[in-house]
Amino acid sequence: MRHLAAALTVATAAVTLTTGAAWNPAATHTERATVTPAAALTETAWNPAATARNLAATAGKPSGDLTPIAGADRLVAALGVDPACPAKIEIGMRSDAGKPAYATMDVEVDPPLTASRSMLTSYLPPGYELGAKLLVAVPPETSEGTYELRLRTRAKTLKVPVDVVPLDKLDNGGNLALHRPVTASSQHTNANYPPCSVADGDTSSNGWAGGNGWNDATGRSWPDTVAVALGGPEQVSRVDLYTLDTERYPASRHGLRDWDVQAQVDGEWRTVAQVRGNTAGNVRSDFSPVTADAVRIVALASNGANDYTRIIEVEVR
Ligand SMILES: [Ca+2]
């Protein structure tokens, strides 16, 4: 296992990411790519020392047998969302080449949509996959319709439809907060924690600091608030809050501890639920139905570490 871990370190270090020149909003996001072995590869097939030599020997030589991969059959991108929270899709490529080599995949998207990278390139052993997150931005002038994302290696092209839909036509799965406008009491100077990320549909804490959750800017100062406008009066009776919770950053140390859930009813904020002493990654609050224009979280305390508010997602039903 040690050999495999060491090998992965070598492989990951070789990953090179190219960002598209047209890209603006996500340029500050932390971009990560990961290399993982396909199931067929055994640990003993991997030799870090040999890899290091091959890395030097094969640098610059293209590989022909690459399969583009996408994490979804199609991507839905809502119109009019905050540019700091673009649509996301996992992309990657798998090497079926006979030997380790540098692998390159071009990333193209129909204009006026823009992608966070125009290319994915990495040293890649046979049987390994390179995975990365791709952000797709929808400029305000974009017409509703279906566009195309193309992942192109020398031998193959994978086409992924991108549906651009207005917010009001979006299938939100019952989550009234999804992609709705978010305002917060403060915003961290690091752009990787945008307030809109609490309504981007991504409830996972993985990749914290990669644009998937909000971190406020006022450590050890309370309260902090984050509000989601619902686009009009809606009957609401449930709020699910996801706070930071990973193996490295457990909620019991880095998550939100105490908060009030408030609904804006007839222009007044009304407390509809309270959570105290939380140590879990996500908490569901049910309350008597109210007709509200917006829902907000009033954060009162976190579980210690630096005393910031860290919220991954807020869902409203
Ligand atoms: Ca999120």
The count of domains in the chain is 2
pTM of the model: 0.78
Q: Which residue has the higher pLDDT, 274 or 40?
A: 274
As a whole number, mean pLDDT of residues 226-244 equals: 97
- Same domain for 18 and 163: yes
**Distance in Å, CA 101 to ligand 1 centroid:** 36
The reply to whether 32 and 156 lie within a common domain is yes
Rounded Cα gap, residues 124 and 63, in angstroms: 9
How far away, in angstroms, is 199 Cα from ligand 1 center?
6
CATH classification of the domain holding 304: 2.60.120.260
Q: What residues form DSSP beta bridges with 109? A: 149
- Please check whether residue 51 lies inside any domain of the structure: no
87: containing domain: 2-38+60-168
**Does a structural domain hold residue 305?**
yes
Percentage of the residues of the chain whose pLDDT score is greater than 70: 79
Ligand 1 centre from 205 Cα, in Å?
A: 8
Mean pLDDT of 127-149: 95
Between strands 157-166 and 75-79, the pairing is parallel
How many Å lie between the centroid of ligand 1 and the Cα of residue 81?
A: 14
Q: Mean of the pLDDT values across residues 205-232? A: 94
CA dist 297 → 112, 160, 235, 316 (Å)? 35, 36, 17, 11
Q: Same structural domain for residues 220 and 107?
A: no
Rounded mean pLDDT of 94-110?
92
Domain assignment of residue 229, yes or no: yes
Instruction: Please give the Cα distance from 288 to 266 (Å, whole number).
Output: 16
Distance of CA 230 to the CA centre of its chain: 22
SS3 track for 111-163: CCCEECCCEEEEEECCCEEEEEEEEEECCCCCCCEEEEEEEECCCCEEEEEEE
**Does residue 186 share a domain with residue 153?**
no
Burial letters for 86-107: b for 16+ Cβ neighbours within 10 Å, e otherwise? bbbbebbbbbebeebbbbbbbb
pLDDT at residue number 4: 32
Helix (H, G, I), strand (E, B) or coil at 227: strand
Q: What are φ and ψ of residue 287, in 5° steps?
A: -155, 170
